[in-house]
Structure 1
């Protein structure tokens, strides 16, 4: 599945989302000017290599410098190829502006980084001995998607689903789209444990960790006075209320 657009309009200009997009693109273009050897060194130094932090003796033997914890931040802005960055940045563009609407730019940046960090920690828990660098914004973006599920389950996501060679388009409720996405990540994550060779080089558990972090952290970063079009349960009527837009 690939999201094309959603039905929730934004109210404020998403300055934080635009800044994150530009920073990711700038880093990716910097990577394009590197030689293969430079790129490999760059990915190992500024991506997160789990064994580097779980086995310090091995890391020193392998030639990693001491420390290197900045990688837990920098890895979110590094991508492994054109398809990787296009898919991540497009998904960020679809879902993140409405989350920034609810939080404001400063809170959104902190939320985004916290989700990315949580995603990486979960990945390390399931891949402690891995010597493969983890790079990409998908863990942080998964956190955005988790928050979106809570705030806008009633939204519609116009979705591309390729069937064989035929592109099919569907308008799915956000709760259905994100639920299918989550189940796909979960079963792929379980498969990566049972049959590691089937993992496809994707950090499935980082996606799941980021998604869960987005759900857990949302109440600490949201601002109710900016909750435009949000879904609010109304126990008295056993229904839900969708807030009208308010401009602050």
Structure 2
């Protein structure tokens, strides 16, 4: 089966399984940020959210979002790049990323988000277009190279702030969320490669479903509105944790 016949058309068909996975990633994100906020308000010991299990959860969650973004890029543009749709989505991502930067700068000026998950997804999406037509195996190999690049390619040449988006500098930025291209382009490429391989096996055609069962629709709903939930969940959590903290102290 060809790639063209194995990809559901993005304008008329959703894939509930992907929305459910996005919902799971969102749940992981909310749980982590709840613990992060508990630490910020002094309810758990310092460094709780940045070490051990909670650090692993944060990395897994970010990697999941980037992997899914790679899958989505292929599903949306595997038959040919739809430039208008791509430009619209990119504009929304950039606007949301800018809102996160401005919001965190106003509240946490010493550790504001200058290249977080949304910034990374936006740039990875642009870079992903350059490799969209490569064979899945070659994209997967490139993902491995990107993942290990920081172990071999870091240099003082990248220490200027303008290059921190690369992740190849020898200084550690102070920021609340940081997913530079190296190594975070790797899970995006892995998602792209996996989506392409799945298309060749006809998986997307089998998973595509316009009318999933009601239970699946409920579970998938958060995944269909992931950007809105991403933008709103932290203000809500901080308000709740901060409000309860104010009342009990």
TM-score band w.r.t. shorter chain:
0.3 to 0.5
Q: Larger % of helix: which?
A: 2
Q: TM-score, normalised by structure 1?
A: 0.38
Query: Could you tell me the TM-score, scaled by structure 2's length?
Result: 0.38
Report which structure shows greater RCO (CA 8 Å, sep ≥6).
Answer: 2
